[in-house]
Amino acid sequence: MTGKPFPWQREDLPPARRWGLGICGLVAFLGLWQLLGWLGWLGATPSPAAVARAVARLAGQGDPFMRRSLWSHVGASLFRILCGFALAAAAGTGMGLLMGWNAVLRHLFRPLVEMLRPVPPIAWVVLAILWFGIGNAPAVFIVFLGALFPVLLNVVSGLESFDPVLGEAAVTLGASRAQVLFRVAFPSALPQFFTGLRVGLGVAWMSLIAAEMVGVGTSGLGLMIESSKTMWRLDYAVAGMVVIGAVGLALDFAMRRVEAYFLRWR
Amino acid sequence: MPDLEVLDGVSLELQKGELACLLGPSGCGKTTLLRIVAGLEGADGGEVVLEGGEAGGKVSRVGMVFQQSALFPWRSALRNVSFGLEMRRGRGRKEAEERARELLRLVGLAGFERHYPRELSGGMLQRAAIARSLAVEPEVLLMDEPFGSLDAQARNSLQEFLVELWEKTGLTILFVTHNVDEAVFLGGRVFALTARPARVHRVYEIPLKRPRDRTSPGFVGIRREILAYLAEQGGPQGG
């Protein structure tokens, strides 16, 4: 590295300062929010202290509507996201490899994929309930739709940007076409693949919460917010939002750790 | 390169165990010629004969080292070298890694088995690439300006390394370069190609004993002769 990095470059501050600044920002936001509460400007909006109390009560006694603890809602949502995401990762990778491998398949499916992609997964909720009833299955289906397209399209574009010289090197070393795809082209597309996984996980998480709010099941964080709303318990609703954010953050963090392991060669 | 006559009646024959150089201006079709020999590209006519069999194709009888190392960045040096062996059926991974370890030692990279390509210098990358191509025991090794992107010092040391390796292994090597100095340092014979469409215009026998001294009168004399010939042919020359 020569000279000072420009401000928009990453890793421009030491880690301790980055963490410190992040915490400062969070604390300042919460402080301002609480201050507005003390000044009486918040109206019916719950203050951070009220939300914290609501989280504690949800975690302890559970919600007053369904008598389920926060943990069982978190568990239900996590179960759905993990099932749907695993299915989407497998299907997206498989379809992506097929579309990358074969030009006929690629052009056969591309318009279909491009048309389905902009449809928000939550718009499928009617069909999901029609096909799968109420419970985990329709929620898993919505998650699947949310994660599928980012994974699929990133696998395809990762394969498209494959450096042919790597494939030629492999061919001169005796690799078959299938070996070039699985042992060379796919590994070289891993960075894009993981981008797809991370985007897909984020979209899937948001779609799942929305689906739960619409009522695909009888548990889940989305349903917890929805029932708080009908009972006009805004503190529980905001507590649900906070938990959703925290779980989403944890999922992304876990995904980044997996990615860092598989891309350690970068 | 569609509908462009790149090569025209190029014909050259290598002896087994020979280290020969193919010298020609940039863009004259040297790379195309190598790719045809390696089976990576088809020719409109002509044939590649390797001791009675067809070159290229499924059996890797022809190894290739590229301008950029073309190592697989996600594989360690060891697993880059073992790649060719892993592609074959019925080979244990352990056996392949053992062989790869030997080859890394042969090219002077012992101790770098677990390094990823991004952690290696340009010269080390090309050594690893050479080891990788040797793993499948090719009968001919094609090298496409493999030292072209190295700095002058690294290039000289890699040239010396290649001569030693060749003397140790008795490989048959066809080495492509646009650098006259490099061709005279390495080649037992130097095939000089003309600009597009390429033809082998002259074959120089280099009678100097290896390892060669770049500053000896014999070396300088041959170099001057080839440079004068290439200048006569026209086109800018380096080296």
**Is A74:A243 a contact under the CB 8 Å cutoff?**
yes
- Report the pLDDT value the prediction gives residue A1, as an integer from 0 to 100: 46
What mean pLDDT, rounded, does chain B reach?
Answer: 86
- Report the pLDDT value the prediction gives residue B218, as an integer from 0 to 100: 94
For residue A86 the two structure tokens come to 């695993």
CA atoms within 13 A on the CB side of A229: 10
**For helices A190-214 and A234-262, what crossing angle results, to 10°?**
160
**Is A142:A81 a contact under the CB 8 Å cutoff?**
no
CB-based contact, A137 to chain B, within 8 Å: no
- Report the pLDDT value the prediction gives residue A151, as an integer from 0 to 100: 97
- Mind listing the pLDDT tens digit for each residue in A126-158? 999 999 999 999 999 999 999 999 999 999 999
**Is B43:B36 a contact under the CB 8 Å cutoff?**
yes
Count of residues in chain B: 239
Residue A8 has pLDDT above 60, yes or no: yes
Closest Cα in chain B, distance from residue A19 (Å): 29
Q: Tell me if residue B202 falls in helix, strand or coil.
A: strand
- Which residues are CB-neighbours of A31 under 8 A, at least 6 positions away? none
H-helix or E-strand spanning residue B132? helix B122-134
* B239 confidence band (pLDDT: 50, 70, 90): very low
- Mind listing the pLDDT tens digit for each residue in A46-91? 999 999 999 999 998 888 777 888 999 999 999 999 999 999 999 9
Q: Tell me if residue A174 falls in helix, strand or coil.
A: coil
Average pLDDT (A174-200) is 96
The number of C-beta contacts closer than 8 angstroms across A and B is 70
- Alpha helices by DSSP H, listed for chain A, are 15-38, 48-60, 70-101, 103-116, 125-132, 136-160, 164-172, 177-179, 186-188, 190-214, 221-230, 234-262
**Is A129:A138 a contact under the CB 8 Å cutoff?**
yes
Classify burial at B133, counting beta carbons within 10 Å of its beta carbon; exposed 0-12, middle 13-18, buried 19 or more. buried
- Report the pLDDT value the prediction gives residue B63, as an integer from 0 to 100: 93
Task: Return the minimum-mean-pLDDT range out of A160-164, A190-194, A229-233, B79-83.
Answer: A229-233
Taking the C-alpha atoms of residue B131 and residue B107, their distance in angstroms, rounded to an integer, is 6
Taking the C-alpha atoms of residue B25 and residue A245, their distance in angstroms, rounded to an integer, is 62
Closest Cα in chain A, distance from residue B79 (Å): 12
* A253 confidence band (pLDDT: 50, 70, 90): very high
- Report the pLDDT value the prediction gives residue B1, as an integer from 0 to 100: 37
For residue A56 the two structure tokens come to 């504690």
Which chain B residues contact residue A169 at CB under 8 A? 64, 66, 70-72, 132
| Separation of CA B12 from chain center | 16
**Beta-bridge mates of residue B174:** B20, B142
- Report the pLDDT value the prediction gives residue B196, as an integer from 0 to 100: 64
Taking the C-alpha atoms of residue B182 and residue A134, their distance in angstroms, rounded to an integer, is 74
CB-based contact, A165 to chain B, within 8 Å: yes
Residue A11 has pLDDT above 70, yes or no: no
The answer to whether the Cβ–Cβ distance between B88 and A174 falls below 8 Å is yes
- Mind listing the pLDDT tens digit for each residue in B107-134? 999 999 999 999 999 999 999 999 999 9
* Phi-psi group of A138: left, alpha or beta (phi > 0 → left; psi -120 to 50 → alpha; rest → beta): alpha
Q: Can you tell me which residue has the tokens 């492509």?
A: B176
- Nearest Cα neighbor of B14 from B201, B230, B188 is B188
The answer to whether the Cβ–Cβ distance between B62 and A172 falls below 8 Å is yes
- Nearest Cα neighbor of A189 from A167, A148, A165, A157 is A157
Residue A6 has pLDDT above 80, yes or no: no
For residue A76 the two structure tokens come to 């239900």
The answer to whether the Cβ–Cβ distance between A169 and B116 falls below 8 Å is no
End-to-end CA distance of chain A: 17
- Mind listing the pLDDT tens digit for each residue in B35-86? 888 888 877 777 777 664 555 444 457 899 999 999 999 999 999 999 999 9
Cα dihedral sign, B106-B107-B110-B114: negative
What mean pLDDT, rounded, does chain A reach?
Answer: 93
The answer to whether the Cβ–Cβ distance between A168 and B70 falls below 8 Å is yes
* B193 confidence band (pLDDT: 50, 70, 90): confident
**Beta-bridge mates of residue B49:** B54
The answer to whether the Cβ–Cβ distance between A169 and B64 falls below 8 Å is yes
* A23 confidence band (pLDDT: 50, 70, 90): very high
Residue A213 has pLDDT above 70, yes or no: yes
Closest Cα in chain B, distance from residue A101 (Å): 19
- Mind listing the pLDDT tens digit for each residue in B75-114? 999 999 999 999 987 668 888 999 999 999 999 999 999 9
